[in-house]
Amino acid sequence: METRGTRIGLGVATVAVIAFLWLPLLLIMAYAFNSSTIQSWPISGFTLHWFREAWHDPEVRRSVELSLKVGLAATAIALVLGTAAAAAIYRFRFFGREAVSFLLLLPIALPGIITGMALNSFFNFGGVQLSMWTIVAGHATFCVVIVYNNVLARLRRSSPSLIEASMDLGADGWQTFRWVIWPALSTALVAGGLLAFALSFDEVIVTTFTAGAQTTLPIVNAIVFVVILATVIPVTIAQRLTGDTGVLRRGAAASKAAAAATGGGAV
């Protein structure tokens, strides 16, 4: 049993960490409505001007469109490869299984800049023209992990006897997939997809805007506001999906922790 002191201590530490993570974001979100071009607190007046400006800025529009395209493409790739990888790791024992599992997880541990540089030199070496598809490939490396993790966690907490029960009750392989495996995995796939998309979407923005850091135009704040919403909303939905409609009630806590861990990387 923890004492009153540790409870209070833990509470303070938790609030401090959350504040550390979220206060800067909230500050930028507030600046998005600042009527002054100078970022200073308190904000001098309320305006939606920067949103209008951002909406009409062709460069920003192109960035957002590209982000969407890349995010969707990377998510699609991640869903297919991540699910296949999770199924293989879960179902089969093969040579190099642990190594494959480790390699799949590595991209989220590596700083984005390392992955970026490595891929860049690889593309150069291979003579591949940099394009939207090379960005998609780069993003897919870490999006696959998200889907893989979600699906594997779901598979691990589904009872293997469910498949046997289905076969026992007269369902062949396809029917078992349709009526038992798919319903069990669907929320994990949607959650994994949303998280992967969120991760990909804000990765582009971070990359783009860290490159042009010297021009801190206030429209950046407006864009950041939109981007934060675009990442927080899917992550929240993903967390709810894995938490509430999970296969087993007692697995919900574990899945929430997993969603929080992966979500933490995305925001």
Partner 1 sequence: MAVEERIEQSPERAAEPSGTPDVRLERVTKRFDDVVAVDDLSLEIERGSFFALLGPSGCGKTTTLRMIGGFEEPSAGVIYLGDHEVSGTPPYKRDVNTVFQSYALFPHLSIFENVAFGLRRKGTRGGNLKGKVEEMLDLVQLSGYGRRKPRQLSGGQQQRVALARALVNSPRVLLLDEPLGALDLKLRKEMQLFIKRLQHDVGITFIHVTHDQEEAMTMADRIAVMNRGKIEQLGGPDDLYERPQTAFVAGFLGISNLLTGEVSGRDTVRLGDGTTIRVRADALDGRSGRVAVGIRPEKIRPDDQDPNALQGVVRERAYIGVSTQYIVETRYGNVTVVVLNDRPGSIPHSPGDHLTLSWDPEATFILDPMEEPA
What does the binding site for partner 1 look like in residue numbers (CB under 8 A)? 159, 161-162, 164-172, 175, 179-180, 183-184, 245, 247-249
Lookup: tokens for 28: 């930028």
What DSSP designation does 212 have? T
Buried b vs exposed e over 227-247: b needs ≥16 C-beta within 10 Å?
A: bbebbbebbeebbebbbeebb
CB-nearer residue toward partner 1: 35 or 175:
175
CA-wise closest residue to 267 among 5, 20, 80: 20
Question: Smallest distance from the beta carbon of 192 to partner 1, in angstroms?
Answer: 18
CA pair distance 265, 267, nearest whole angstrom: 6
Structure tokens at 149: 């993790």
Given the complex with partner 1, which of 65 and 244 has the nearer CB atom? 244
Q: How far is the CB of 240 from partner 1 (least distance, A)?
A: 16
Q: Which of 181, 184, 199 is nearest to 259 (CA)?
A: 199
Going by the DSSP 8-state scheme, the letter that residue 102 receives in this structure is H
Smallest CA-to-CA distance from 158 within 70, 65, 214, 242 is with: 242
Q: Which is nearer to partner 1, 141 or 187 (CB)?
A: 187
Q: How far is the CB of 159 from partner 1 (least distance, A)?
A: 6
| Residue whose CB is less far from partner 1, 190 or 224 | 190
**What length does the chain have?**
267
- Looking at beta carbons only, is 3 or 161 nearer to partner 1? 161
Residue 2 or 168: which CB sits closer to partner 1? 168
Shortest reach from residue 179's CB to partner 1, in Å: 7
Q: How far is the CB of 184 from partner 1 (least distance, A)?
A: 7
Cβ neighbourhood burial of 65 (10 Å; 0-12, 13-18, 19+): exposed
The minimum distance between CB 174 and partner 1, in angstroms, equals 11
For the residues of 128-184, what is the DSSP string, one character each? PPPSHHHHHHHHHHHHHHHHHHHHHHHHHHS-THHHHHHHHTT--HHHHIIIIIHHH
Min dist. Cβ of residue 134 to partner 1 (A): 40
Residue closer to partner 1 by CB (options 85, 247) is 247
Tokens of 227: 């981007």
